[in-house]
Amino acid sequence: MRREDSGPGSPLAWLRYARADLAYARVPPPEEASFDLACFHVQQAAEKAIKAVLLSLGIDFPYTHSIQTLTDLLPEDVRASAELDPAVELNAYAVLTRYPRDREEVDEQEYREALKIGEAVVLWASTFVIENRG
């Protein structure tokens, strides 16, 4: 069953949340912060955008932050999109950047690369959902 409206649980609602996460990701971190949290928002934007596409196709998805798991649920012709291959790299930001770990913080170059990927995924998903509305 396709969800065409913009109410809670609809593809358009998920896209709104994806765009909001992307907006937070674009905000430069204050001096005392790092790019880690921005990258978390990039990952969240991509995750929610892919979930919007799944919903628009009537495909149920599990509660997961794994972009790989979500893209594996997509039909082959949809999954073949060039924007999705690099999106799997964003998985690292789903959890690792949220808590103190023994690792280096995300630097600005890594952040900019992640943001570019996230923006491409959200644009792809937005176009897909809008073009495939009943």
Per-domain residue ranges for the chain? Answer: 11-131
Query: 28 falls in which pLDDT band (50, 70, 90)?
Result: confident
**Dmax of the chain from CA atoms?**
48
Question: How far from chain centre, in Å, is Cα 18?
Answer: 6
Q: Give the integer Cα–Cα distance in Å for 60 and 132.
A: 17
- The mean predicted confidence, pLDDT, of the chain is 89
125-129 average pLDDT score: 96
What does each C-alpha distance from 72 to 15, 21, 75 come to in angstroms?
19, 23, 8
Quick check: 98 pLDDT over 80? Answer: no
Question: How far from chain centre, in Å, is Cα 102?
Answer: 25
pTM for the whole thing?
0.89
Cβ distance 41 to 25 under 8 Å? Answer: yes
11-131: CATH topology is: Four Helix Bundle (Hemerythrin (Met), subunit A) (1.20.120)
Q: What's residue 48's pLDDT?
A: 97
36-48 average pLDDT score: 95
